[in-house]
Amino acid sequence: MLPNNIIFKRSSRCISFFGRKKPATTQEGDCTFDMKSCFDQKASSLKVRESCSLEGCCSLPKVIVVGAGLAGMSAASKLIQAGVKDLLVLEATSRPGGRIMSSWVGDAMIEFGPTVLYGASLANPVYNLANLSGAITYPVRRLGQRKRLFLTSDGELITDYAVETLLYNQLISDAKSMASRTGPGSCASTPKRNLMQYLGLRIQQELLDLPSDMQKKSEKILWGMLNSLRVAFGAELSQISSWALSDRGSSPGGPIILEGGMHRILSPLLQKLPEDKILLNTPVHKITLDPCPEYHKPVKVITCDNKVFEADYVVVTVPLGVLKKRADEMFEGALSKEQSNAIKNIGLGQLNHVYLEYAHPWWIPGMPSMSLAWGMEELQLSTEWTKGIGYIHEVHGSKHLLSVDIAGPEAELIEGVAEEEVAIQITRFLRKFTGDTLSLTQLI
C-alpha cells in the first residue's frame, strides 16, 4: 500500500553565532581605535548589579539580532532581561522558531526539526523553557532504549541480536577511549583514520572471532547499526573523524518527547519580546562593521529591500549553511581570517524526516522501530537514497504515520525527488525489506 501523503523536511544540524570582533587595535587611515581600551574605559563607569545586568551613567547599547530561531530568540530574551531595551530581531521567514516547527497531520503532531528533547533535567536550559511553557508533564515520561527490529534485503526479520548489541557497544566504547587518548589535546596532530575506517576494521576483526554460522547474520546487523550511526552526525561516517566520538557527551536526564510539540519551548521566549521587536520577512543582505565611527553607530545591517539599521552590536544566529554560502558577501569588514576559516571548515550535517501517512496502516500499532541490516558489500554498491535510511518508526501518538530518518548526502538527494516518486520508491523498498508483497500492493 502506497502512502497517501508524504511530508519531508530537511533539518540542518548547526547554528552559529557572530558578534563584534575580538578586542584588537584597528587602524584605518588616520583613525586608530583600541577596542579593548575603549571597552575597559566604558566598563569602569558602569555599576554591575548582577551577571549581565547594568545600571549607572551609561546609555545602553542598541543591538540587532539576525535570526529568530531558538538561538536568536534566546539571545534577545537574555538581552531584554539584562535591561537592553533598544533591540530588534530580524527574521528572513514569515515565522519565528527556525528549525523548530510542529504541525498536526491526521491524528498526531509531527516535527519538521528536532523530534526529541535530549537532557531532560534542570541542567538543560531548553528543558527549563519547556517546563515554563507547561509542556512537561509529571512524572516525566522518559524514553527508554528504543526496541528495534532488523530487516534484511532478502525479507528476513531479525529480533534476536543481543550478541551483536554487546559487540557494537564495546566497539563504540573502544572508539571513545581511543579518541580520548589520541584526540584533540594529545600529542597526535591529526586523526589517522576516519570513523568508518576505524569501526569497519574493528567489525571485520570481531567477526573472525564468531562461529562461522553466525558471521553472515552478525555482519549485516553490525553494519546496519553502523549505518544508523550516521543519523547522529548527519553525514557518512567516512566524512567523520575517528576523534568525533570523544566530543559526544550526554546530557543528564535522558530524552523525552514534548506533549503538544517542540514548538512549545518557544512560548516563554516570545512572551518576553514585544511584537514590535521582531521583524518577519526581513532577510539580511549585508552586515558592515566600522571600527572607528565618528557620526554613526559601528554596525550597519542592510536588508534585501535596502533598509538600513544601525546598531552598536549585532548577534548573527543564521544557520551554518547560510554562512557557508553567503559569508563572503554578507559581512563587510567584520570577519577575521580565523572566523572565515572556521565557517569554511566546520562540517555541516544533513538530516531529513520523511513522514508517510497511510489510510490503512499495514503495521501493528506500537511496533518497535525498524533498522536495516545491510551487508558491507550492499552498502558499498548501493547508489539509491534509501541507503541513507537510519530508522523507520511509528510517529508518537499516531496509528497512521510512519517517520523515516534519512541522513548524509542521501538526505539532500531525496529533496530532488518528486513526492509521487518517493511514494513509489519507498513502497518498493519496504516490500523488499519486509518481504510483504500483499499488504503493500494497493495504491491509494
Task: Flag whether 17 is in a domain.
Answer: no
Q: Are residues 240 and 177 in the same domain?
A: yes
Residue 223 has pLDDT above 60, yes or no: yes
Confidence category of residue 40, pLDDT binned at 50, 70, 90? low
Q: Are residues 291 and 233 in the same domain?
A: no
- 7 against 81, higher pLDDT: 81
Task: Flag whether 177 is in a domain.
Answer: yes
pLDDT given for residue 12 in this prediction: 47
- 302 against 377, higher pLDDT: 302
pLDDT given for residue 80 in this prediction: 93
Instruction: For 193-295, list the strands marked E by DSSP.
Output: 255-256, 278-279, 284-289
Confidence category of residue 58, pLDDT binned at 50, 70, 90? low
Q: Are residues 187 and 242 in the same domain?
A: yes
How many whole angstroms separate alpha carbon 5 and alpha carbon 83?
48
pLDDT given for residue 13 in this prediction: 44
CATH number for position 326:
3.50.50.60
Confidence category of residue 5, pLDDT binned at 50, 70, 90? low
Task: Flag whether 427 is in a domain.
Answer: no
Task: Flag whether 68 is in a domain.
Answer: yes
Q: Which of 33-47, 80-94, 233-247 holds the top average pLDDT?
A: 80-94
Burial (CB count within 10 angstroms: exposed 0-12, middle 13-18, buried 19+), residue 201: exposed
Residue at a domain's end among 345, 361, 376:
345
Task: Flag whether 284 is in a domain.
Answer: yes
Residue 34 has pLDDT above 70, yes or no: no
Question: For the segment 110-124, what is each residue's pLDDT rounded down to a tens digit?
Answer: 999 999 898 888 888
Q: Are residues 287 and 230 in the same domain?
A: no
Confidence category of residue 29, pLDDT binned at 50, 70, 90? very low
Residue at a domain's end among 247, 269, 289:
247
- 10 against 137, higher pLDDT: 137
The reported pTM is 0.79
- Per-residue CA distances from 67 to 73, 88, 304, 313 (Å): 8, 10, 14, 14
Question: For the segment 404-429, what is each residue's pLDDT rounded down to a tens digit?
Answer: 999 999 999 999 999 889 988 998 99
Percent of the chain scoring above 70 in pLDDT: 81
How many whole angstroms separate alpha carbon 412 and alpha carbon 421?
15
Q: Are residues 288 and 231 in the same domain?
A: no
Question: What number is the average pLDDT over the span 368-397?
Answer: 90
Dihedral sign of CA atoms 180, 181, 183, 185 in order:
positive
- 83 against 144, higher pLDDT: 83
Question: What number is the average pLDDT over the span 17-23?
Answer: 35
Instruction: For 208-279, list the strands marked E by DSSP.
Output: 255-256, 278-279
Residue at a domain's end among 247, 269, 298:
247
Q: Are residues 232 and 296 in the same domain?
A: no
Confidence category of residue 217, pLDDT binned at 50, 70, 90? very high
Tally of domains in the chain: 2
How many whole angstroms separate alpha carbon 77 and alpha carbon 265?
13
Q: What is the CA radius of gyration of the chain?
A: 25
Question: For the segment 295-326, what is each residue's pLDDT rounded down to a tens digit?
Answer: 678 999 999 999 999 999 999 999 999 999 99
How many whole angstroms separate alpha carbon 199 and alpha carbon 220?
14
pLDDT given for residue 335 in this prediction: 85
- Whose CA is closest to 71, among 123, 125, 3, 144? 125
pLDDT given for residue 247 in this prediction: 60
Cis ω for the linkage preceding 3 (within 30 of 0)? no
Task: Flag whether 53 is in a domain.
Answer: no
Question: What number is the average pLDDT over the span 423-438?
Answer: 86
- 4 against 395, higher pLDDT: 395
Confidence category of residue 96, pLDDT binned at 50, 70, 90? very high
How many whole angstroms separate alpha carbon 269 and alpha carbon 266?
5
Confidence category of residue 89, pLDDT binned at 50, 70, 90? very high
Helices (H) and strands (E) in the chain, counts: 13, 23
Task: Flag whether 412 is in a domain.
Answer: no
Question: What number is the average pLDDT over the span 96-112?
Answer: 91
- Whose CA is closest to 157, among 425, 367, 410? 367
Q: Are residues 178 and 239 in the same domain?
A: yes
Q: Are residues 236 and 286 in the same domain?
A: no
- 3 against 166, higher pLDDT: 166
pLDDT given for residue 381 in this prediction: 87
Question: For the segment 347-357, what is each residue's pLDDT rounded down to a tens digit?
Answer: 888 999 999 98
pLDDT given for residue 188 in this prediction: 56
Residue 143 has pLDDT above 70, yes or no: yes
Q: Are residues 80 and 38 in the same domain?
A: yes
Q: Are residues 284 and 242 in the same domain?
A: no
Mean pLDDT of the chain: 83
Question: What number is the average pLDDT over the span 365-377?
Answer: 89
Percent of the chain scoring above 90 in pLDDT: 48
pLDDT given for residue 291 in this prediction: 72
Q: Are residues 189 and 241 in the same domain?
A: yes
**Cell 537574555 maps to which residue?**
78
Task: Flag whether 5 is in a domain.
Answer: no
Q: Are residues 180 and 221 in the same domain?
A: yes
- Structural domain containing residue 174: 163-247
- Starting at the edge strand found earlier in the chain, the sheet holding 331-332 runs 308-311, 299-303, 284-289, 331-332
